[in-house]
Structure 1
Amino acid sequence: MMICCFVRKKSGPSCMILSKKIVQENINCFRSRPKTPFMRKLVSLMRLVPLLFLFALQANAQEVVITGSVRDLEKGEPLEGVTVRVAGKPTAVKTDAKGGFTIKASNGQVLQISYVGYEAQRVTVREGANYNVKMKSEASELDDVVVVAMDQKRKPRELGYSTQKLSGNEVQETQRENFLNSLQGRIAGATITPTSGVAGASSQIVLRGFNSMALDNSPLFVVDGIILDNQTVNESGGGASTGLASDRPNRDNDYTNRIADLNPNDIESITVLKGPEATALYGSQASSGAIVITTRKAKATGKLNVAYDNSFRFTSMTRFPEYSNKFSSGTNGVPENSFSYLGPEYAQGTKMYDNIDRFFQMGIAQTHNVGIDFGRKNYSFRFSGTYFDQTSVVPNNRLKRYNFRLSNTTKIGKKIEITPSIAYTNSANDKPLRGAGGYMLTLLQWPPTDDISDYLDASGNKNLLFGSNPNTEIDNPFFNVNFNRSRDNLERWVSTLGVNVNLFPWLLVTGRFGYDTYRQTGYTFRHPTSSLVTAGQGGQLDNYYRNYYGYNHTITATATKKLGNFNGRVMLGNMWQNLETQHYAIVGTNLLDSTSKDSSNTRANTRVRLNNARKGLPNYSINRQLAYFGEFSVNYKNMIFLTYTHRFETSSIFPADFRNYNYPAGSLSFIMSDLFPVLKSGNVMNYWKIRGSLANTARSSAPYANQSVFNIATVSGGGFAYGFTNANEKLEPERQSTYELGTEMKLLNNKINLDVTYYNTKNTKQIVENFRASYGTGFVLNTLNVGSTQNEGVEVAIDATLFKPRNSVGILVSTSIECGIR
């Protein structure tokens, strides 16, 4: 038997040819006729082999290796994960972190290049063609991915409830010391109320009005899937509370709400989830909505990027109330030594001082930001640092804050991604006491014939206008800001860990773990000669020491499946949180030194501490919560979306009989512009969605609202006694039922975005604290489930791009309107 061999030669990068001589020799080796029928058939088949091989080489000779890149048209940044496919063939590749790709194709074939949120492109393979592609972003609802409950990412078209999204750049451009203030006027249905305009002032945000008569109506704050604390110091509450030992009303002083510690420069995006149907997965703590924040991360550019920016803001008082300086001190035209101005008219030519202008000053705020990031395909790091320094329009008021943050993203193989981060905040707020009426009212009370800046006599004592007792005459505003002082110091650490594990193409397991802790200390100093204290008290000093420890985690497993025209998703998860506040406070009078702020600077027998101090322990407040939740979602052709969620929650706040509760939520949305494509003809309407949702949620009271405790009795022989407030051992959570209907439109080539929402919320089993009932209860004030409220309203949000040159920044007008019935 003769064995015939073929020999191949390489020619070029992908073509194989046969030597003519070798081919001829192989053909000749079959020319001699075999003797048996079997051999004759075998030889006949083997004669075809060289021809088949030649045809294969001819086809292979047409393929070439194509190398190219894909970038964003406007930003010029490389796009990772772009699909490059040979039309009509199964061959496809993805671009790498630098936007590069390599694929084999033949001359004349077409490369299809596609990426979510960008217009698809087609490039024909030919000699001399350019394969460096620039993709144009689609101006549609696919531009955004909204981060919703549990750090889940969703396309806007999927959502059956109202959300609004802001970019981090929009927040940073406002250069506000408290990022909450930057949301003012940008979110429909949001009411932001700063307590004052001084440095370090707290701010409250309420979404869709007040739904609870007595409990907290603030939304939940979630950063990278982790719940952050937003407490502020409560001066009142008594010896069993986590307030001040002096148990004062919250009027003379203000304390920054702790979400203000977040560095605006670290924010990538903010998603505002307004209603309970959007936040049902977060449970009772998000019954007033949630603000979901995503932080900046390094981009995988392979380069070290260093950025620095700064800003300087100047603030001044421009609007003042109208008032009259026509009359002198007195009553009914009769002069008297008082701060009442209904006496005789001032004589013509009487010298007047503009004390308001003398008091308020120019406020200056400066911010310096540094950002350093470096990233490659499988890992990236980002470090940021910010220095903020603000002096307000009120003299002797200054806030200084330092923020540092280090974050990392690491991909382990193709299935695991981890995103750890650690942030540190250090702030100091020096502030004067504002008094119950504020500085403006005191300035208006001051006689215009007295120079307010002359507030000390030659001996350095308080100048008096009408009396001889400094404690009975209201404080000159300049005396107040210099001698009645307060200060808060804070050190805060926030560490987070995100884990994403793609177990299978259809199953994703995620974990978000976070630990938030801070130590806050402060004092309030009232001068011995101030009208805020009596002569017998000889001054007063309040000191507090506060520690917070908060751990929470969320673990979810999400499975997806496609069946024909239907796409389904099922998510199951668990949440656990343990939040503890420890608070130690002491107050004393009869100051030994009129300048020292140490708690030992008071007479020992006047000092009062919180209850647990007798055991050498701080007062504490602990809130533990365990929850299991699930979500089922299905859509038809990416045009009709149905979602149902359910949460089962256990809270340590309520008695055993009422601490387990659950609540459902559902939503439905229709993409009308896809269901009826004729609506998009003419480019008048580019996108139209209608949506609806409903939910039932609960709202928790403060811890220990169901447990009466003993307070230290300082009268009637001492000992212990119940306080004025009766805690209710049968207290139940508030219940909240709500629904909303809405529509979203994009018009005129996506230049106008319109979002209209109607919402209706009914609140039952309202928890009312400090409720006066019969004294036969043994208490003056009670905590009860009484009453109900209803809250409904309409929200309208409009974004319009008036003018945008090609490859340039446009002019955007954004407005929001809310009309509510409460």
Structure 2
Amino acid sequence: MRRFLRLIFLPIFIFLCILKVDAQEKTVTGKVFGDNNQTLAGATIRIKGTTRFTQTDASGSFSIKANEGETVEISHVGYEESSFKIGDSNSISVSLKTSASTMSEVTVVAMDIKRNPKELGYSAQKVAGDQIAQTQRVNFLNSLQGRVAGLSIVPTSGAAGASSQLVLRGFNSLTLNNQPLFIVDGVILDNSTLNETSNGGTSLGLASDRANRTSDYTNRIADLNPADIETVTILKGPEATALYGSQASSGAVVITTKKAVPGRTSIQYDNNFRASFVTRYADLNNDYTIGNNGVATTTPPTSVGSTTYFGPSYPEGTKKYDNINNFFRTGFTQTHNLTADFGTKNAGFRLTSSYYDENGVIPNNEFTKFNVRLANTTKIGKYVSVSPAFQYIYSINDKPIRGAGGYLLDLYDWPANNDVRNYVDAKGYKTRILATDFNTEVDNPLFSVHNNHGQDKTDRYLATLGIDVNPWNWLTVAGRFGYDHYYQRGYSIYHPMSYYYSAATGGYLDDYYRNYNGYNHTITATAHKNFGKFAVRLMLGTMYQDYETKMW
């Protein structure tokens, strides 16, 4: 009888134990709030000591399985981490406090040093990366126009892939480079624009002294993806750029990129489509034919200084063409960005890729850029953090070679009674229109864009490494290492009938190759101590740079 009772009670006891274990695991739901009782999307909910985690949705809500007694950790970028133990309640509400580092504004200045703006004795204006990305400009320099006092952006043209020049507080030199120094995550990057006229010797021929007059080459800082930029800080004056020496005599542009966030997992995709039109032109007088002093001309002037203007009036009923609208086309631009964040509590990875394609308003003008970047942030122990990043950029710029006066000026000169679209005659020869200048002719811009063509291709590799060591709260040792390499090649083709070259030359082909390698690093040790209302800061450091450009 006793044995029988034992057999009965033992299964019942095991069954009750199973019920007890099952009862401990449950689904916990809740909401996460931030400042002003606003819900927080993307907050990470993690069960401490396990691999179980989830994230809040757009409304700040979450749901996760947990056992009673387990600790739940809640974190979000810009907020202090919070935690609680699972109890009897199945529904919770958590409010996160803004972190102190977020509440105190920080500006990144020379040598990747982070300072409170109130501590700076010089001008340092900051532009948020979101403001730059919203403009959807492939060359992010154009996004800075009107946002920083004393800053002027000068784009070379409205063509796809055109270069831009940034000038701070006016030009400092008539002969030297007036461009500021560009620093990305503490590493100096090259922003030069190709000067093909400096190619290896003038033996390359006629095109070597006209390449940069009739063709544009993208400035290299445009290789960066605007969606990767966190902040842009503009440093003006010698006080702000003293640590970089004479190479920053025209100022400095300090760029910080978006970092991987440990413990955060998310995937984001966005795109943008845009059409562009040429809508405003100068008012033209289309009442007179080409000629001099009321007399039509069929030959150019015979001597310098004999040029006058205005031929006879067009006969009544003469058909006139809208040559400007007949030349320009509707431009189309598309941008695609894909971002993935993933990692653990102490390490985060950020993978970004972008595709940009622009068909300009000028026929046969297209600029395409592909960009992929992998960044990591890892905390090693209590005192060390590392942040390596690697980036690859490929761009191709198909560009027509513009005429002697540029497309628009040639269109202004083109007679209103002549259709610019008829740029070749029945025999296949270029239609010629004589100019009013001595010994010249007007280039038909449509002939130029369809017969004179150029192309540039660039492969660029960027590698950076940041190391920060904080053995004590008053001492920081930082190292920034960077390698920049790009290989650029291109060509320009001129038709035998183009104005620059007579048929006797048989046309012209000019090509170039450019190879750039740049390495630089900075190592600094900064000590900071507060004495009541006063503070003392001491920094020791070293910088090394080595770069080489080969062109042939």
Q: TM-score band (shorter)?
A: 0.7 to 0.9
TM superposition shift of 1:242: 13
Aligned length: 476
TM-score, structure 2 as length reference = 0.80
1:97–1:300: 8 Å Cα contact kept in structure 2?
no
Does residue 388 of the first structure (1) align with residue 356 of the second (2)? yes
2:457–2:490: 8 Å Cα contact kept in structure 1?
yes
Does residue 180 of the first structure (1) align with residue 148 of the second (2)? no
C-alpha distance in 2, partners of 1:389/1:409?
31
What whole-Å deviation, never above 9, does each CA across 1:729-775 have from its counterpart, x for those lacking one? xxxxxxxxxxxxxxxxxxxxxxxxxxxxxxxxxxxxxxxxxxxxxxx
Q: How does 1:520-531 map to 2 (within 5 A)?
A: 520-531=488-499
What's the counterpart of residue 268 of structure 2?
307
Residue segments in structure 1 that go unaligned for 5+ positions in a row:
1-67, 81-94, 105-129, 585-822
C-alpha distance in 2, partners of 1:245/1:497?
45
Select which of 460, 475, 494 maps to 1:507.
475
2:403–2:443: 8 Å Cα contact kept in structure 1?
no
Q: How does 1:182-221 map to 2 (within 5 A)?
A: 182-221=143-182
What's the counterpart of residue 157 of structure 1?
118
2:151–2:168: 8 Å Cα contact kept in structure 1?
yes
TM superposition shift of 1:301: 3.9
TM superposition shift of 1:302: 4.0
What's the counterpart of residue 430 of structure 1?
398
TM superposition shift of 1:79: 10
Counterpart code for 1:135: K
TM superposition shift of 1:455: 1.3
Distance of aligned partners of 1:287 and 1:272 in 2 relative to their CA distance in 1, 3 Å threshold: same
Select which of 201, 221, 233 maps to 1:271.
233
C-alpha distance in 2, partners of 1:330/1:149?
60
Q: How does 1:465-484 map to 2 (within 5 A)?
A: 465=433, 473-484=441-452
Counterpart code for 1:324: N
C-alpha distance in 2, partners of 1:552/1:242?
34
Select which of 325, 333, 341 maps to 2:286.
325
C-alpha distance in 1, partners of 2:106/2:43?
19
Distance of aligned partners of 1:137 and 1:552 in 2 relative to their CA distance in 1, 3 Å threshold: closer
Counterpart code for 1:220: L
What whole-Å deviation, never above 9, does each CA across 1:78-98 have from its counterpart, x for those lacking one? 599xxxxxxxxxxxxxx8756
C-alpha distance in 2, partners of 1:146/1:394?
41
C-alpha distance in 2, partners of 1:572/1:96?
39
Counterpart code for 1:488: D
Name the stretch that deviates more: 267-276 or 236-245.
236-245
Distance of aligned partners of 1:244 and 1:310 in 2 relative to their CA distance in 1, 3 Å threshold: farther
Distance of aligned partners of 1:101 and 1:330 in 2 relative to their CA distance in 1, 3 Å threshold: closer
What's the counterpart of residue 294 of structure 1?
256
1:244–1:544: 8 Å Cα contact kept in structure 2?
no
What's the counterpart of residue 413 of structure 2?
445
TM superposition shift of 1:475: 2.8
Select which of 213, 221, 228 maps to 1:251.
213
What's the counterpart of residue 717 of structure 1?
none
SS at match of 1:508: strand
What's the counterpart of residue 304 of structure 2?
none
What's the counterpart of residue 367 of structure 2?
399
Distance of aligned partners of 1:509 and 1:258 in 2 relative to their CA distance in 1, 3 Å threshold: same
1:388–1:402: 8 Å Cα contact kept in structure 2?
yes
1:560–1:570: 8 Å Cα contact kept in structure 2?
yes
C-alpha distance in 1, partners of 2:519/2:423?
50
C-alpha distance in 2, partners of 1:145/1:580?
35
What's the counterpart of residue 225 of structure 1?
186
Counterpart code for 1:219: P
C-alpha distance in 2, partners of 1:69/1:504?
37
C-alpha distance in 2, partners of 1:241/1:170?
45
Distance of aligned partners of 1:527 and 1:243 in 2 relative to their CA distance in 1, 3 Å threshold: closer
1:69–1:100: 8 Å Cα contact kept in structure 2?
no
Counterpart code for 2:97: M
C-alpha distance in 1, partners of 2:292/2:364?
35
Q: How does 1:721-760 map to 2 (within 5 A)?
A: none
TM superposition shift of 1:132: 3.1
Select which of 454, 457, 460 maps to 1:492.
460
Counterpart code for 2:348: S
Counterpart code for 2:452: N
SS at match of 1:533: coil
C-alpha distance in 2, partners of 1:241/1:403?
35
Counterpart code for 2:180: P
TM superposition shift of 1:436: 3.5
Q: CA RMSD for the aligned pairs?
A: 3.0
What's the counterpart of residue 578 of structure 1?
546
SS at match of 2:447: helix
Select which of 215, 218, 223 maps to 1:261.
223
Residue segments in structure 2 that go unaligned for 5+ positions in a row:
1-29, 46-72, 86-91, 301-307
C-alpha distance in 1, partners of 2:413/2:478?
61
SS at match of 1:511: strand
1:279–1:289: 8 Å Cα contact kept in structure 2?
yes
Q: How does 1:550-699 map to 2 (within 5 A)?
A: 550-584=518-552
Name the stretch that deviates more: 268-277 or 186-195.
268-277
Distance of aligned partners of 1:244 and 1:495 in 2 relative to their CA distance in 1, 3 Å threshold: farther
1:72–1:78: 8 Å Cα contact kept in structure 2?
no
SS at match of 2:345: coil
Distance of aligned partners of 1:184 and 1:241 in 2 relative to their CA distance in 1, 3 Å threshold: farther
TM superposition shift of 1:541: 1.3
TM superposition shift of 1:279: 1.0
Counterpart code for 2:118: R
Counterpart code for 2:231: S
C-alpha distance in 2, partners of 1:242/1:511?
45
1:141–1:156: 8 Å Cα contact kept in structure 2?
no
Select which of 355, 370, 375 maps to 2:323.
355
Distance of aligned partners of 1:72 and 1:300 in 2 relative to their CA distance in 1, 3 Å threshold: farther
C-alpha distance in 2, partners of 1:338/1:552?
60
Distance of aligned partners of 1:568 and 1:96 in 2 relative to their CA distance in 1, 3 Å threshold: farther
- Structure 1 or 2, whichever has the larger Rg, is 1
TM superposition shift of 1:131: 8.4
TM-score, structure 1 as length reference = 0.55
1:431–1:487: 8 Å Cα contact kept in structure 2?
yes
TM superposition shift of 1:160: 1.2
What's the counterpart of residue 89 of structure 2?
none
Distance of aligned partners of 1:403 and 1:509 in 2 relative to their CA distance in 1, 3 Å threshold: same
Distance of aligned partners of 1:242 and 1:164 in 2 relative to their CA distance in 1, 3 Å threshold: farther
What's the counterpart of residue 63 of structure 2?
none
What whole-Å deviation, never above 9, does each CA across 1:368-390 have from its counterpart, x for those lacking one? 01001113321000001110000
C-alpha distance in 2, partners of 1:150/1:361?
46
C-alpha distance in 2, partners of 1:219/1:330?
48
TM superposition shift of 1:341: 5.3
Whose helix fraction is larger, Structure 1's or Structure 2's?
A: 2
SS at match of 2:316: coil
